[in-house]
Amino acid sequence: MITIKKFYATWCGPCKMLAPVMEQIRTEYSQVDMLAIDVDENYDVAASYGVKSVPTVVIEKNGVEISRLTGVHSKMVYTNVINENLQK
């Protein structure tokens, strides 16, 4: 199982830009779990993942981190990581 954990903050402009991209991915990949984690409300969780800036997207497969992307990237960057790991 692939899980995407998007670390964001409500005041973060780039996080707002990333939101529609993540929503598209969520609707296109029913086999992927997606969690949105507000770093201000869930500081302990963000700290346990070593998140130092937002947005940060952590992609895990079976509970193991397989990719970490900081900042805003194109949808293709995220889907490439997902597609590569769905096939394994």
Catalytic positions, written as ranges: 12, 15
Q: Is the peptide bond before 14 cis (omega within 30 degrees of 0)?
A: no
Reading across the β-sheet that carries 56-61, which strands appear in turn? 32-38, 2-8, 56-61, 64-70
Give the number of C-alpha atoms closer than 13 A to the C-alpha of residue 68, restricted to the C-beta side.
Answer: 10
